[in-house]
């Protein structure tokens, strides 16, 4: 059975990788298995984790769970065309609640904390210390303040990017692009590690070529 699992995993891995050549029957088969199995798995997982694990077990202790269950029930009314429109209510609730909750989160992290973290003395390491910062610290501080400010200017939509404002915005997009460049290299390396993991499985566990 263990060998069968191993060969099956290798067969499916190669099936997915075969897409690099072109779309083919092997890939289609693997894709269908992957999608079908995962959709079934998630249905079962969500049923046991959410419906049973959270609602069914916790309903007596946390009465507010009935609200969620009721909204969930309303969603199922989509299955009855005549009153299917009622399913828009829970959907509206979700959209409204999400917007409200995220408003505070975004506001707190993207404005308040960002501003607070950017307010810093440019040439000093502490207040009342005079010009005592190392050149590297000064450059670091300047990059943070300059990058944050010009980035904000780029995302200011109410003014045309012309003249000094446009020049500042252009500097902002340069800062953003340099940041993306660094991020690109970093993330590509993490993707490579995923690929190496699969190759390690094929050559090591399956073929035994890596000890």
Partner 1 sequence: MSFKKNTLTVTPSAFSFSLLIIIFMTAAASVVSASAVSGPAGPPEADTVEIVIASPTSPVVSDFKYDDGNSLILTWVPSIDDLPVGGKVLGYHVYRSDNGGEAKKIAELIPGSNYFKDDDLYGDTTYVYHVVARSANSRAASINTEAIQPRREWVNLNLKYLFLIALIIAASVIYFIETAKRGKKLFVRKIAGLEAVDEAIGRATEMGRSILFIPGINDMDDVQTLAAITILGRVSRVVADYDTKIRMPVARSLVMTAARETIKASYMAAGRPDAYNDDMVNYITDEQFGYVAAVDGIMVREKPATIFLLGGFFAESLILAETGNSVGAIQIAGTARPAQLPFFIAACDFTLIGEELFAASAYLSGEPKQLGSLKGQDIGKGIAMLAILLGVLLSTIAAVGDTETITEILKFITKVFTVTN
Q: What is the closest distance, in whole angstroms, from the C-beta atom of residue 64 to partner 1 in the complex?
A: 13
CA distance to 1, 44, 181, 197, 211, per residue, from 6 (Å) = 9, 25, 39, 15, 16
Contact 118, 148 (CB under 8 A): yes
Alpha helices by DSSP H, listed for 84-128, are 88-106, 113-118
Q: Should residue 187 be labelled a site residue for partner 1 when binding is judged by CB under 8 A?
A: yes
The whole-angstrom separation of Cα 35 and Cα 41 is 10
Among residues 8, 35, 83, 210, the one that binds partner 1 under rule CB under 8 A: 35
Q: Should residue 160 be labelled a site residue for partner 1 when binding is judged by CB under 8 A?
A: yes
Q: Should residue 153 be labelled a site residue for partner 1 when binding is judged by CB under 8 A?
A: yes
Contact 168, 150 (CB under 8 A): yes
Within residues 38-67, the interface with partner 1 by CB under 8 A covers 38-39, 41-42, 46
Q: Should residue 74 be labelled a site residue for partner 1 when binding is judged by CB under 8 A?
A: no
Q: What is the closest distance, in whole angstroms, from the C-beta atom of residue 118 to partner 1 in the complex?
A: 5
The whole-angstrom separation of Cα 109 and Cα 111 is 6
Q: What is the closest distance, in whole angstroms, from the C-beta atom of residue 169 to partner 1 in the complex?
A: 9
Among residues 106, 195, 196, 204, the one that binds partner 1 under rule CB under 8 A: 106
Within residues 81-100, the interface with partner 1 by CB under 8 A covers 87-88, 91, 94-95, 98-99
């Amino acid at each position: 059975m263990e060998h069968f699992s191993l060969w099956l995993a290798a067969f499916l891995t190669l099936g997915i990788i075969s897409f690099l050549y072109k779309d083919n029957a092997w890939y289609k088969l693997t894709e269908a298995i992957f999608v079908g199995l995962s959709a079934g798995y998630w249905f079962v997982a969500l049923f046991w984790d959410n419906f049973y694990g959270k609602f069914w077990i916790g309903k007596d202790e946390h009465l507010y769970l009935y609200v969620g269950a009721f909204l969930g029930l309303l969603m199922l009314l989509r299955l009855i065309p005549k009153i299917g429109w009622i399913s828009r209510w829970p959907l509206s609730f979700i959209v409204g609640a999400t917007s409200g909750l995220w408003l505070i989160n975004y506001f707190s992290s993207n404005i308040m904390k960002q501003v607070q973290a950017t307010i810093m003395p440019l040439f000093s390491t502490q207040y009342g210390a005079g010009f005592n910062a190392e050149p590297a610290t000064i450059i670091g501080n300047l990059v943070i303040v300059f990058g944050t400010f010009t980035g904000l200017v780029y995302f200011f939509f109410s003014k045309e990017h012309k003249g000094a404002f446009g020049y500042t915005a252009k500097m902002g997009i340069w800062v953003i692009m340099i940041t993306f460049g660094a991020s690109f290299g970093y993330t590509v390396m993490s993707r490579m590690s995923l690929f190496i993991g699969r190759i390690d499985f094929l050559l090591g566990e399956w073929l035994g070529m890596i000890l």
